[in-house]
Chains A and B, each alone.
Chain A
């Protein structure tokens, strides 16, 4: 049988050959050759990875990297400048080390945003898939509910919930987790609906493949790449939301070192100690930029890989 490996390469095929890319996808060397690695990396992805890894290290090993106890102040050393004594980034109005507080805040904010994001992902994806699967009352109810939820200003709803339920990590995570999933639902719904109309889903239905198997075999893998991208972008959004709530005094309990709390405290000393503002604000900006870069990176990766390889 004339397999296509034996056919004479001509035209574009010949050019591809000349470039050194093997055409045989089964060739393991071809799969991971250098040109491919080069093709999938760009400066954006490199920067994003470095920043992301730094943040992960800070979040995981933060306790070892703090130079001071973030809660313990030294009233003799209030408003220290950056580098003064052994305060890396200076100290605040109670003489607490800003660097150590920023690292502690990172852990708090990251944990909060990550947990909330996972809850968002789960709720949004589930509802999106349920709505996309079949026309009917389930779709109507889910879509109406999502629209209603989205029509409320998110922060206002969050304020009300936190005021009723109270302060703390768990209430904050659940507030964000239960309210901010709309973006996941919308994207999953839109993409899944289009996948459900593809012929391969019809073919599976005709073959008698169960609804669950179609959902997890064809549809969910189809939206997976987008889920990664939204997950990264949404993470940045949640970081801001968490800081905003803490800044307003309805997020993290008073005194807990979070970026929002630090910002709130810095208000009174803006002129005297601008570092108190700069440190948490810079931390938020850096974290948000990193997550956005990671999102961009994943998006461009999955675009380049096209539909060929799973992300």
Chain B
């Protein structure tokens, strides 16, 4: 079901194309898209990175550099007025007055050297002719509308004194301050924790309903769309491939890409089952390495199982603390506890997931296992012995894969050198040996072995994460710590990486310590789950049990906050 653009539309984009002009190349970012948003509607625009969704949003307010872009055809009109032909002065009236924007990262969207007060005044006084007292009253009311308790404090605070969620509330309050007709929200909750995300999304929806403001919500998260939006547009490679009522699009997707996107979500799939991946030809540019994993058994042959039933790894009262204050001599006098007496164990071939929000200590815990931060108290046991007492070679059986594949590979090193770096420690194998090993590792992680001479920037995010996994596998690890390995990736690529991890685990009986904030992913991949909150493990148990029937109050809050397709339709 498709609604048709009417003259009363708040936003009307008609067959818009947009090209980015490079030095000697042209990138077609938008290839003729048409969309419209009516009064009071909440409309979602979904797509993966590079689909053109943010470009569409920025172009509504003409926020793209005009010398670097070209609009071959199409029209954008706000309240019936053509934005593309408008002069800079009229545009300023539209920006912030009729259309306002909420960005992904509230820390960079707010000016760090000005108080909230000044920034709100700036917006309000520019568009409305009112006195400062009136502006102050209006600001405080707006902040109160955002369910901020101590409005006075927030009003006089600098952005860095506020939490991420609070900053985003301020941003939303500012966006509503001039009674705009349309709010464009570009991934407004992606940088926030799940529980905060739920609050922010509800606030946004409530305020929009109350003020009859239209919202264009740009996101990669289908569950968020399902929960919030009346209608949805699915974008793919600069085109709109599907549109309609949210319920129809997500319930009965027509286009192959939408179906593939929904199938790639781990949500609602059988745990540990292989996820369907978006067909290689549909993914832009590179990550076509969705081929089944071929394993050269010679590389990893001869791993010994430590013994079924016994824990391979145990944390006993593990505590990590960071110095908070120093005395004059540079000695720490007070400490902040990041990980507080954590007890966990992992058996061979199984996956323990640690779920928690940012700052709960899950990454500190991971870092302490691989020896990047020292334990303040307690013990980490590997194969029944303190990890510290093992020789270097055994210690290397515990490896880590980091979150951001951008930062985890040296940009100047070719792939073969990256993958085999751990093998050069204490030994000097020949270049050919290393290259051969790297080729084998490439096959193991589903990359073309001929790619070993390439540099990291020649790979896509998913492929880079495969390289990082390959490097970890080079030393025959038994325990792999995966620190948010898929959170920097698109949904379709995430599905591929999850499949790879499951395949590798089956082949080599690897144990995983899987750290994530994504409950759907955790449910899919893990056997056991530990929920961390403020440095403490508040609940542990079998994945199914903890995630379906949470006992601890925090776990319940967390589970309730997670946007899911199911719940969106039940509502």
Contacts and interface: CB of A to CB of B under 8 A. Distances in A.
Contact of B280 (A2, A140, A205, A307): A2
A42 to B, nearest CB: 11
A1 B448 contact: yes
B457 A308 contact: yes
Interface string A15-45: 1100100000110000000010001000000
Contacts of A7: 280-281, 288
A202 B472 CA distance: 12
Interface in A165-219: 198-200, 202-210, 213, 218
How many B residues are at the interface, by size bracket? 35 or more
Nearest to A4: B288
Interface residues of A, number: 40
Contact of A2 (B28, B289, B400, B426): B289
Interface in A66-88: none
Interface residue SS majority, chain B? loop
B373 to A, nearest CB: 11
A39 B23 contact: yes
B457 A4 contact: no
B421 interface: yes
A218 B418 CA distance: 11
A12 interface: yes
A12 to B, nearest CB: 5
A221 B25 CA distance: 30
B408 A203 contact: yes
Contacts of A206: 370-372, 399-400
Contacts, number: 121
A8 interface: yes
B27 A208 contact: no
A140 B288 contact: no
B237 interface: yes
Nearest to B398: A206
B372 A19 contact: no
A203 B376 CA distance: 22
Contacts of A11: 28, 237-238, 284-285
A153 interface: no
B426 A208 contact: yes
A5 B450 CA distance: 10
Given A199-B408, A308-B457, A209 B422 contact: yes
Interface string A213-229: 10000100110000000
A144 B433 CA distance: 47
A15 B27 contact: yes
B392 interface: yes
A140 B331 CA distance: 13
Contacts of A8: 281
Given A3-B450, A199-B408, A222-B412, A208 B402 contact: no
Interface of A: 1-5, 7-8, 10-13, 15-16, 19, 25-26, 35, 39, 140, 198-200, 202-210, 213, 218, 221-222, 306-310
Given A1-B448, A199-B404, A308-B411, 16 more contacts: A2-B280, A7-B288, A8-B281, A11-B284, A13-B284, A16-B25, A198-B408, A199-B403, A199-B407, A200-B407, A200-B418, A203-B421, A206-B371, A208-B426, A209-B424, A307-B411
In the A-B complex, the 6 residue pairs with the smallest Cβ-Cβ separation, listed nearest first, are A207-B422, A199-B408, A3-B448, A307-B411, A199-B402, A7-B288
